Chains A and B, each alone.
Chain A
Amino acid sequence: MTLAEKILATHSDKGKAIPGEFINVWVDLVLANDITAPLAIKEFQRLGVNKVFNPDRIVMVPDHFCPNKDILSAEQTKEMREFARKHRLIYFEVGRMGIEHVLLPEQGLVLPGEVVVGADSHTCTYGALGAFATGMGSTDIAVAMATGEIWMKVPPTMKFVYYGKLGKWVDGKDLILYTIGDIGVDGALYSVMEFAGEVIDTLPLDGRFTIANMAIEAGAKAGIFKVDRKALDYIRDRARREYKVYKSDKDAEYAKVVEYDASKITPQVALPSLPSNTKPVTEIGKIEVDQVVIGSCTNGRLSDLRIAAKILKGRKVHPEVRCIIIPGSQEIYLKALQEGLLEIFVKAEAVVSTPTCGPCLGGHMGVLASGERCLATTNRNFVGRMGSPQSEVYLSSPAVAVATAVLGRIASPDEIMGQSVE
Chain B
Amino acid sequence: MKLKGKVHKFGANIDTDVIIPARYLNLSEATELAKHCMEGINPQFISRVKPRDIIVATTNFGCGSSREHAPLAIKACGISCIIAKSFARIFFRNAINIGLPLLECDEAAEGTETGDIVEIDLAIGEIKNLTKNKIFVAKPYPDFMRELISSGGLIEYTKRKLKREA
Contact = CB atoms under 8 A, between A and B. Distances in A.
Interface of A: 22, 35-36, 38-39, 42-43, 46-49, 64-65, 69-70, 72-73, 76, 118-121, 123, 135-140, 142-143, 146-147, 151, 153, 185-186, 189-190, 216, 219, 221, 274, 361-363, 367, 380, 382-385, 387, 389
Contacts of A185: 13, 60, 63
B40 A140 contact: no
Contacts of B63: 185-186, 219
Contacts of A120: 65-66
Given A143-B158, A186-B63, A121 B90 contact: yes
B21 interface: yes
Interface in B37-93: 39-41, 59-60, 63-69, 71-72, 86, 88-90, 93
Contacts of B98: 139
Nearest to B161: A147
B89 A219 contact: yes
Contact of A64 (B25, B68, B69): B25
Closest 8 CB pairs of A and B: A137-B94, A72-B26, A137-B68, A361-B22, A186-B60, A139-B97, A121-B66, A22-B144
B15 interface: yes
A120 B13 CA distance: 19
B132 interface: no
A262 to B, nearest CB: 26
B98 to A, nearest CB: 6
A36 B66 contact: yes
B18 interface: yes
Interface residues of B, number: 43
Contacts of B41: 383
Contacts of B135: none
Given A42-B28, A153-B142, A189-B89, 7 more contacts: A39-B68, A137-B71, A137-B93, A140-B94, A142-B155, A219-B63, A362-B17
Contacts of A186: 13, 59-60, 63, 86, 88
24 contacts: A22-B142, A22-B144, A35-B22, A35-B67, A39-B68, A39-B69, A39-B72, A47-B155, A73-B26, A118-B66, A123-B66, A136-B66, A136-B94, A137-B94, A139-B154, A151-B144, A153-B142, A219-B63, A361-B25, A362-B22, A363-B22, A383-B17, A387-B23, A389-B21
Nearest to B70: A137
A135 B94 CA distance: 11
Given A35-B67, A151-B144, A48 B159 contact: yes
B125 interface: no
Contacts of B71: 137
Interface string B92-119: 0110011000000000000000000000
A46 B90 contact: no
Nearest to B87: A189
Contacts of A384: 17-18, 21, 40
Interface string B6-22: 00000001010110011
Contacts of B66: 36, 118-121, 123, 135-137
B27 interface: yes
Contacts of A151: 144, 148
Contacts of B15: 380, 382-383
Contact of A47 (B59, B93, B144, B158): B158
B1 interface: no
B26 A121 contact: no
Interface string B113-148: 000000000000000000000000000001011001
Contacts of B162: 47, 49, 146-147
A124 B56 CA distance: 29
Nearest to B97: A139
Contacts of B159: 47-48
Contact of A35 (B25, B39, B153): B25
A46 B17 CA distance: 27
A362 B27 contact: no
A21 to B, nearest CB: 9
Given A47-B159, A48-B159, A140 B67 contact: no
A70 B26 contact: yes
A389 B23 CA distance: 12
A366 to B, nearest CB: 13
Given A76-B26, A383-B18, A189 B60 contact: yes
B23 A137 contact: no
B93 A143 contact: no
Given A120-B66, A219-B88, A384-B40, A38 B28 contact: yes
Contacts of A383: 15, 17-18, 40-41
Contact of B17 (A140, A147, A382): A382
Contacts of B67: 35-36, 137
Nearest to B85: A186
Given A137-B67, A389-B40, A76 B60 contact: no
